[in-house]
Amino acid sequence: AKTAKWKSFSKIDKKAFTHHDDRWADTPKIDSLKISDKRIYAFIPGESSSSVNKWGMDYYALAQISAEGNVIEKIIESDNLHTDSKKRGVNGRFTDSEYVILTPLFKNDDWKGKQKVFSLTTRQYCDITLPKGMTKHKLENISGELCLTSLFDRGLKEVALCNYINL
């Protein structure tokens, strides 16, 4: 018979992040999680509980965390995104590969609304260039040498499976 032993944590320690807000008890939100090579990774889109689409994010981070919720390593940590009136923010989604898909929430940010991928292996950002005719697609997942994209325009319009080269 197989058995399982569960480990759990209830929150990620926000004091590890430079731009955490001590005025509130809110803990960082978790956008996505991944376990790879016995390491736990979390993408954290700040801790603000207000509307991100209305006000933007306060910060975002990619971190390796322990099973108890302690931050072992901050891999990516944004600046304080509320330094001026410009709305900013990035969502992060782990893939079936070494890459994290980073999607800006607003088109007027530093990335001009374009997605990037971040390699957990090389710790480098990569720009995404989609094939001609697919520039409005969004990258959804990467697995092996394949990537999955989608096009939303008032609902799902297309899904495409593509081979990628040299991310």
Mean pLDDT in residue range 18-39? 80
Residue 78 in any domain: the answer is yes
Cβ–Cβ < 8 Å for 102, 113? no
Average pLDDT over the chain, rounded to an integer: 83
**% pLDDT > 90, the chain:** 32
Q: What whole-number distance in Å separates Cα of residue 162 and Cα of residue 141?
A: 11
Phi-psi region of 120 (alpha: psi -120 to 50; beta: other; left: phi over 0): alpha
The answer on pLDDT for 12 being more than 90 is no
pLDDT tens profile 68-97: 888 899 999 887 666 777 777 889 999 999
- pLDDT band at 101; cut points 50, 70, 90: very high
Q: What whole-number distance in Å separates Cα of residue 106 and Cα of residue 134?
A: 20
* Phi, psi dihedral angles at 25 (to 5 degrees): -90, 0
Residue 156 in any domain: the answer is no
Q: Give CA 53 to chain center in angstroms.
A: 16
Which pair of tokens denotes residue 16? 């590890």
Amino acid at 20: H
Cβ–Cβ < 8 Å for 38, 16? no
Residue 160 in any domain: the answer is no
Phi-psi region of 113 (alpha: psi -120 to 50; beta: other; left: phi over 0): left
The answer on pLDDT for 100 being more than 90 is yes
Residue 138 in any domain: the answer is no
Q: Which residue has the tokens 């993408």?
A: 43
Residue 153 in any domain: the answer is no
Residue 5 in any domain: the answer is no
Range of the domain at 80: 14-128
Residue 115 in any domain: the answer is yes
Total number of domains constituting the chain: 1
Residue 155 in any domain: the answer is no
pLDDT for residue 52: 64
